[in-house]
Structure 1
Amino acid sequence: MDRSTSDAPTPRTPRHLRSTWRRWRKGRPFWGGLVTVVAGAEICALPLAPLKIMLEQGIAGIPSVLMGLVMVVMGLTAWFAPQYRSLAGVLTVLMATAALVMSNLGGFLIGTVLGIVGGAMTFAWTPAPAPLPENDPAPGAEPLPQSPPKEIR
């Protein structure tokens, strides 16, 4: 059986992979999700100190770990389910604000500030509108009025 060149799969060149990555990244709130994941990891990492310090800290470290994990999950939700970006953004801001009180000043303020910024970026992101065909007028635009033809005398 003879295979034509149109049936052959396209090679995975670095240029093709880069364009695929850009398309994926631009179709979702990537930077808001990234900042949210970093904030969650920072809040989560502070209580995960060596065992001797963890034993002294006691049960107070559990809320920090849980809030950090929730923030990481919200960042991943923004990446892989962008239709839930509003919910993920609001929950991220709420978790970051709660971490200020419950988790070592929100990861020494770094995690709280990053969480609020990441949640706001995730909430504010909107998908790019689909491009209009060139021959169609813009939506809501009225056609230009045309003057009646002048009579030639």
Structure 2
Amino acid sequence: MSAETPASREVPKENRFKVWRQTRPFWAGLFTLLGGLPIAYLPYGDMRLGNVTLAMKTTAGAGALIIGVLLITLGLTMWFQPIVRVFAGVATIVLGLVSIPVSNFGGLVIGFLFALVGGGMSIAWAPAPPIEEAVDTEDDGEPEASAETSAEAGAVLTAGLPEQRGPEHHATDKTIDANGGRNSAG
């Protein structure tokens, strides 16, 4: 808790992660991180099945590593700097698309799909509106309306409206129509 944080807003320890997660695009960052891992790992990793070694090494391994590390960095940026979530989301989608030709079809399509979903979620995420503190009042919450305030409110509501006239009123070139322009009929 900092000196600027009021004591009344202290969050219980069991809810701190939930509050932290809800104030940033958490799932977008997680999907982006998960998308960067297979894109960065697959060109360098190998799998052993008994005596057989399967390797997916490509000539563009450095490009795949760069894309994977950038996606992991963008996922962390979404978590720790949520103000740049739109930029991070767009960059994630672009890097996911670039990973298709560079990194074994985008990390065997798994990393590509995670990157697209994470980037889209980051762009679509918006912070919740701030919660306003309710002012405690002693009455039941409904204001009492006096005759004087009702008359004033009625005068304010009808001040900008045109007067209602009967059918004998004819429009002239000086008559202003309801949209604020001059009516040329007459």
Q: TM-score, normalised by structure 1?
A: 0.72
1:110 equivalent in alignment to 2:110: yes
Other-structure match for 1:97: 97
Other-structure match for 1:141: none
1:48 equivalent in alignment to 2:44: yes
Which residue of 7, 22, 26 corresponds with 2:22?
26
Task: Report which of the two has the higher share of helix.
Answer: 1
Where 1:37 maps in the other structure, the secondary structure is helix
Where 1:131 maps in the other structure, the secondary structure is coil
Aligned residues: CA RMSD: 2.5
Distance 2:57 2:44 in 1: 10
Other-structure match for 2:182: none
Other-structure match for 1:72: 72
C-alpha offsets along residues 60-106 of structure 1, whole Å, 9 cap, x if unaligned?
21111110110000000000111111111000000000001111110
Distance 2:13 2:43 in 1: 38
**2:124 maps to amino acid:** A
Distance 1:63 1:132 in 2: 48
Distance 2:58 2:134 in 1: 65
Identical columns (%): 35
Alignment gaps of 5+ in structure 2 = 1-10, 47-52, 136-148, 153-186
State the 1:53 CA deviation: 6.7
User: Highest CA radius of gyration, 1 or 2?
Assistant: 2
Instruction: Count matched residues.
Output: 125
**1:115 maps to amino acid:** A
Distance 1:110 1:97 in 2: 12
State the 1:57 CA deviation: 3.3
Other-structure match for 1:62: 62
Distance 1:30 1:108 in 2: 24
Q: TM-score, normalised by structure 2?
A: 0.60
Distance 1:33 1:93 in 2: 12
Task: Report which of the two has the higher share of strand.
Answer: 2
**1:26 maps to amino acid:** Q
State the 1:47 CA deviation: 1.1
**1:119 maps to amino acid:** G
